[in-house]
């Protein structure tokens, strides 16, 4: 047995001698199911670490530009709706819970529970995207999309009497806030769309009876992906919506 042993469990000398003494989904280059499951999880976690780096670049840019153009970022951030942000956060957290329940149902071979959990997850994911689309549409109507049609009117002549009017050159920097807002939420939404597509495929497969043999790596890895996207939003929510409500003078 010359397998690339990366599983934490030691491979016993007498294990797996009988070629038929294992479930059919154990592929030949793994010694044990434990090793196969561990390898699948390890691959997914390594992928998620690359995703941390991918989002990390944009978080870094947000951190830097917020410190450079603080007042522009405060003004931009305060135009976002905290209520919408909170509802979206709650939606994603509940969807993470339903995915976790889905993984539990797959492990306990509860087909009906798995289908129900994943359908609720899909509905919540699509609801999140719907609220997000509505928010983006609002920004479009208000001319807050960076580029030729961007308007600094809301910042130079704020409608709310409590807001201090900004100088036009300073107000132009709000475009950087909105650029990063659309980049971060856009790439996050892209991940949600990919997640919803994968979820639909999984539901289709489960409908046909898949993943009921105890081999649930696919469901578990999908769960890891969905939770990761949830975690990205857990950080986007305070950074974009919450931390600029009481700006420093």
Partner 1 sequence: MSTPTLHEHHTVRPKTYLLILIMLLILTATTTGVAFLDLGVLNPVVALAIAVIKSVLVILFFMHLRYSSRLLKLTLGAGFFTFLVLITLTLSDYISRSWGLW
- Residue 156 or residue 224: which is nearer to partner 1 going by CB? 224
- Residue 7 or residue 166: which is nearer to partner 1 going by CB? 7
Span near partner 1 by CB under 8 A; candidates 60-68, 125-133, 154-162, 170-178 = 60-68
- State the Rg of the chain over Cα: 23
**Which residues touch 188 (CB under 8 Å, ≥6 apart)?**
55, 229, 232, 233, 236
Mark 15-54 with x for binding to partner 1 (rule: CB under 8 A) and - for no binding: x-----xxx--------xxxx-xx--xx--xx-xx--xx-
- Residue 122 or residue 239: which is nearer to partner 1 going by CB? 239
Helix (DSSP H) and strand (DSSP E) numbers for the chain: 8, 0
List the interface residues with partner 1, window 86-125 (CB under 8 A). 86, 89-90, 93-94, 96-97, 99-101, 104, 107-108
Other beta carbons within 10 angstroms of residue 129's beta carbon come to 17
Task: Say whether 195 sits in a helix, a strand or coil.
Answer: helix
Q: How far apart are CA 79 and CA 158, in angstroms?
A: 11
Supply the minimum distance, in Å, between the C-beta of residue 193 and partner 1. 21
How many residues form the binding site for partner 1 (CB under 8 A)? 62
Please tell me whether residue 227 binds partner 1 under the rule CB under 8 A: yes
- Residue 203 or residue 224: which is nearer to partner 1 going by CB? 224
Supply the minimum distance, in Å, between the C-beta of residue 161 and partner 1. 19
Q: How far apart are CA 52 and CA 229, in angstroms?
A: 10
Q: How far apart are CA 49 and CA 77, in angstroms?
A: 28
Q: Is 164 left (phi over 0), alpha (psi -120 to 50) or beta?
A: beta
Please tell me whether residue 6 binds partner 1 under the rule CB under 8 A: yes
Q: In degrees to the nearest 10, what's the CA dihedral of 187, 193, 197, 199?
A: 100
| Secondary element (H or E) of residue 228 | helix 217-236
Please tell me whether residue 224 binds partner 1 under the rule CB under 8 A: yes
Residues that bind partner 1 (CB under 8 A): 6-9, 15, 21-23, 32-35, 37-38, 41-42, 45-46, 48-49, 52-53, 56, 59-60, 63-64, 82, 85-86, 89-90, 93-94, 96-97, 99-101, 104, 107-108, 213-214, 220, 223-224, 227-228, 230-231, 234-235, 237-239, 241-243, 245-246, 248
């Amino acid at each position: 047995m010359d397998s690339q042993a990366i599983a934490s469990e030691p491979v016993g000398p007498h294990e797996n001698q009988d070629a038929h003494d294992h479930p059919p989904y154990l592929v030949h280059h793994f010694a044990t199911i434990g090793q196969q499951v561990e390898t699948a999880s390890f691959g997914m976690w390594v992928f998620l670490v690359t995703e941390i780096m991918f989002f990390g670049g944009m978080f870094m840019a947000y951190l830097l530009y917020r410190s450079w153009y603080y007042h522009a970022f405060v003004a931009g951030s305060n135009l976002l709706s905290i209520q919408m942000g909170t509802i979206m956060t709650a939606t994603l957290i509940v969807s993470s819970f339903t995915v976790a329940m889905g993984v539990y149902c797959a492990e306990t071979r509860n087909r009906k529970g798995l289908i129900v959990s994943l359908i609720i997850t899909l509905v919540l994911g699509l609801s999140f995207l719907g609220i997000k689309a509505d928010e983006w549409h609002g920004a479009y109507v208000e001319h807050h999309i960076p580029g030729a049609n961007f308007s600094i009117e809301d910042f130079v002549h704020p409608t709310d009497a409590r807001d201090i009017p900004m100088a036009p050159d300073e107000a132009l920097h709000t475009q950087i806030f909105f650029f990063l807002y659309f980049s971060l939420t856009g790439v996050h939404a892209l991940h949600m769309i990919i997640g919803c597509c994968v979820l639909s495929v999984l539901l289709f497969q489960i409908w046909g009876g898949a993943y009921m043999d105890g081999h649930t790596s696919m469901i578990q890895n999908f769960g890891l992906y969905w939770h990761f996207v949830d975690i990205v939003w857990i950080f986007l929510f305070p950074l974009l919506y919450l931390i600029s409500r009481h700006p420093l003078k």
